[in-house]
Structures are given as structure tokens and as C-alpha cells.
Amino acid sequence: MRKLLPFCLFITIAASAQNLPAGYDQLIKDETPKVVAWRRYFHQNPELSNREFNTAKKIEAYLKELGIETRIIAGTGVVGVLKGGKPGPVVALRADIDALPVTERNALSFKSNVTTDYNGQKVGVMHACGHDSHIAMLMGTAEVLSKMKNDVPGTIVFLFQPAEEGPPGTEEGGAPLMIKEGAMDNPKVDAVFGMHIESFGDLGKIYYKPEAFMASSDWFTIKVKGKQSHGSDPWKGIDPIVVSSEIIQNLQTIVSRQMDLTQAPVIITVGKINAGVRPNIIPEEAIMEGTIRTLDSKMQKEVHDRIRNTVKNIAAVYGATAEVTIDTKTLVTYNDPKLVAQSLPSLQKAAGENNIVPYHWVTGAEDFSFYGTKAPAFFFYLGARNPTLSMDQAPAHHTPDFYIDDSKLDVGVKTFCQLVFDYARTKKG
């Protein structure tokens, strides 16, 4: 269960949200059924990371219908640029578009029955993290803003990003490749906003936190090299499985005994271990794979160093050798405090003053974090839990039973639109 914690950082709200152009409320009302229909279409037609070919085509075609300039980058990413009729900053709005190798398990009329090959296996494909709703809300935002184009201040960059869940194999992808290919530079973005639908959150409520919000994600591989021998003569070899078990136990002491957890959480998880081919053979090598989660960049580096030292020293004690590789998948998702303070009135205007919930940091990760290296960034959650379920009953993300209530997707569209207009005013001020 994810539990709401007391929030001790209070923010002074220096500005208030403004009313949007005449006819805006009717535009949102007209748009909402389309947003729900798009969400359900994409849910029924999911595609894996870096394979979102049909998804990208549908997004690009629709943006072109709206008169929005488009270009394809990062393989299957779509960038749309809308130049408003009034002067102002460049604001980027991001939605991720990829699905997961998960077989859906429910009775929805728009359930995914898509299957594909993934890592040599036949798997189901499902939007088990809500990216279908992200696409739909950003498409809805694009339509509403395009219909108010003359009143829109500055330039809006719509980032429909592939491979947030991670590109396959050694392929490049996701936010790093979007940035590498100019998504934040052509035109140069002044601020970037993103949101994530959440199955646990109260329907229609927005959850936020300034500064560190979501964890960095590092994936590590540890290769332990021993000496092969017969299982009946272990003294004639060096058992890499025994060494690996000792390493696994000691990795946890990095968390429990070596890091100051009052500063920020740390997680080290070994999720996979592979060694040997027969019960009566002590193998030469064992390979472990896992993930590291941190919410502080200095602690992240320290954890890396401690893992390398722990692995090396334990292997040496047993006469084995070990090699550690660590690959950073995401950075800490950091919400610029000034941008958060400026944006809260916009969130309150869009969702309702009582529907904005200060939240705690989480150990999930998001490659939205990379956009924050190019411009001030603000990432927040939108609750979409079935109102008949309690928070601990809500199906978790990345599972076959994942489910969101899509009746409040208009809140996401309203929030993006409100942020566009209000940021321009605060930037000008």
C-alpha cells in the first residue's frame, strides 16, 4: 500500500491562475468524449518500446489535421510545435506512448488481445502503466490549444515520447534520445511539464512534491568468476554461487548499515541470478542482475562505489574475482521548486482547490527526469482509482489487472492548458 505521509515543506504561492479565453469550458466539454475514445483505442492497440509505429502514425496524422507542425524523432517519437498568436515562452508538454510485455486479465470491452515476440518469447502487450491515457490527454490538449491558437501565448511543444519503459537490448531510446535529437532545442524549451496517471490515487486528484519526487534507476550486473569442479569435491573449486549469496546478503547491509536513510531512501534489489547447468557441477561463473533506487545524486554515486567495493572484497576473500557494471536508466525526477510554486494555482484552478494533494517521494522511476537537465521541470500524478476500491485494493501498475477509471481525463487536459497560459504570465512577470 502506498501511504500518504505528512508534508512538512510549505510553499508560498506567489501568483494565481487566470481565466482562460471565452469558450474554453465548452471546448473541454466537447473534447472529453474524444479523449476517452482515444485512450480506449490506444489501450486496445498497444505497442512495445521503440516499436510504436502505428501509435506514432495516428498521433502524427491527428496533429497535422490540427495544423500543428510535426516531426518524427527518436525512431517513433512525435514532436508537435504549435505557435501561438501572442508572444510568450516555449513550453513543452510530454506524454509517453509505449506499452509493456504484460498479458491483460480483465473483461473490458476494449481489452488488449495483442501478442508479440519479446526476448524470444510470445507475450501479451498491454498498456499496464497508463501511457494510453497520457497520449489521449496530450492529444486532447493539442486540439483545445489549437482551437484557441490566437490567444495562446508563445510556443507549445508536444512531446509524444517512445520507450519510457526502456528501449530493448542495446537500442537507444526514450527521453535521452528525444533530447539528443533536438526535442528540447528546436525550439529551445523554457519549461517542461509532465503527468502520470495513477491507479492508486483518488479519482481526479493531483499529487505533487517539489524537489526530488521519483527515484533514479540504475541497473547493475555482477559477474562472479570462480573455479569449476565436481559437486562432490567442492574443495577442488571456488564456488561462485556461494560467493554470490554472500554478495547478495552484504549488498543489503549497504542499505541498512552504511547509508543515512534519514536523508533519503535507498533500495538495492537483486532480481535475477543465473549459474550452472547441472545439480552436480559447481559452475565457473555466476551472473546477478538487479536495480538500485536513490533519491539523492550524491547518495547514488556513493552507493555505486560501495557496491563495487563490497563485490570486489567479498570475491577476493573466497579466491574468486568479480566484475560490476552499472547502467543508469533514469536520473532523480527533480521538480524545480520555483516552478512548482508558480504552478500550484494552475493545478488548483484545473482540478479544484481541494483536489491538490502534497505527496511524498516514491522509489519508482521516470525518464522524464532527463528533460529536467535541459529546462525547469514539473512532474505530477493524476489519480484514477476506481472509486469503489480502497487505495490498497487498487491493481498495481505493470500487472495484468492494472486498471484506471478514465472518467476524469479531462482534468489532465485542463491542467496542461491552464499551465500553458499561467506559465506565460509568470514568466513575463
Residue 287 amino acid letter: I
Question: Do residues 32 and 409 make contact, with C-beta atoms less than 8 angstroms apart?
Answer: yes
Which single residue is written with the C-alpha cell 573449486?
Answer: 237
Peptide bond into 240 cis (omega under 30): no
Bridging pattern class, strands 121-124 and 69-73? unpaired
Q: DSSP for 56-121?
A: HHHHHHHHHHTT-EEEEETTTEEEEEEE-SEEEEEEEEEEE--BBS----S--TT----EEEETTE
For residues 187-210, one letter each, b for 16 or more C-beta atoms within 10 angstroms of the residue's C-beta and e for the rest, the string is eebbbbbbbbbbbbbbbbbbbbbb
Q: Which of 96, 98, 367, 410 is catalytic?
A: 98
Helix, strand, coil share (%) of the chain residues, nearest 5: 35, 30, 35
Task: Say if CB 174 and CB 162 are below 8 A apart.
Answer: yes
Given the C-alpha cell 573455479, which residue does it identify? Answer: 227
Q: Are 193 and 91 in contact (CB under 8 A)?
A: yes
Say which amino acid occupies 149.
K
Cβ–Cβ under 8 Å, residues 379 and 366 = yes
Active site residue 164: yes
**Choice among 164, 296, 405, 406 that is catalytic:** 164
**Coil, strand or helix at 281:** strand
The C-alpha cell that represents 25 in the structure block: 469550458
Question: Using an 8 Å Cβ cutoff, are 269 and 291 in contact?
Answer: yes
Active site residue 190: no
Active-site residue list: 98, 164
